[in-house]
Amino acid sequence: MSVFKDAGHLFRFAGLFVLAFILFLVIRHFVVPKSFGQYGHYRAASIGEIAAHQVKYAGHETCETCHAEVFDVKKDGKHAHVNCEACHGALAKHADDPGAMTPTKPDTAVICARCHTASAAKPKGFPQVVPADHSTGLPCETCHQPHNPGMDAAAPKAPVKAAGGAK
């Protein structure tokens, strides 16, 4: 034991070290969330928390379960691939409980113009008009059924001045 004769201070220091390390492990055990490190250097439980957020756009499959007749109108038209909520807005609340929230009918002057107002920045093949020239102020749905906007789908209810026309 002569080797350790004057080593008492070293053992006390080592003991202190061990104690501090145990204290560190104890604090760490309580401070670090349980799921931290499950998949990587982050709290795995946060993935579930983010996944639990509320959905606001119901999705067109949900709309179709009740509004199949609209899909029948849409399916052959140019708007077949425009989803319901692209124009009607987020309607998950309506889908959850149709009575709780009734969607308002979109204003075609705003909704249609958003996509179809002529601009040199839009792709060439995309149907575009100068609204003032095209409809002489009449609402779009006078001639175009928004769910199937082709002219053969709905006969014009009122004559439209030809001048200007589709550009």
Partner 1 sequence: MNISRRQILILLPAAAVAWKSVLAGTPEASPNYKMTDHWWSMLIDIPKCIGCGNCVRACQTENDVPDGFFRTWVERYHVTDYHMENPEVISPDGGKEGFPVAVADEGKYFFVPKMCNHCTDSPCTQVCPVGATFTGPDGVVLIDPKYCLGCAYCVQACPYGCRYIHPEKKVADKCTLCYHRITKGLTTACCEACPTGARQLIDLKNPKDPIHEFLKTHDVQVLKPQMATGAKAFYNGLDGSVR
Contacts with partner 1 by CB under 8 A lie at 36, 38-44, 46-57, 59-60, 79, 81-83, 85-87, 89-90, 114-115, 117-123, 126
- Least Cβ distance, residue 163 to partner 1 (angstroms): 20
Closest to partner 1 by CB, 57 or 138: 57
Please provide residue 119's backbone torsions phi and psi, each rounded to the nearest 5 degrees: -155, 140
Closest to partner 1 by CB, 127 or 139: 127
Q: Which two tokens stand for residue 64?
A: 């179709």
Amino acid at 25: L
Distance of CA 152 to the CA centre of its chain: 34
Spatial separation of the C-alpha atoms in residues 86 and 125, rounded to whole Å: 20
Q: Are 53 and 47 in contact (CB under 8 A)?
A: no
- Least Cβ distance, residue 92 to partner 1 (angstroms): 9
- Least Cβ distance, residue 110 to partner 1 (angstroms): 10
Closest to partner 1 by CB, 55 or 151: 55
Distance of CA 107 to the CA centre of its chain: 22
DSSP conformation class of 145: B
Closest to partner 1 by CB, 17 or 126: 126
- Quote the strand ranges of 2-137, DSSP E: none
- Least Cβ distance, residue 159 to partner 1 (angstroms): 27
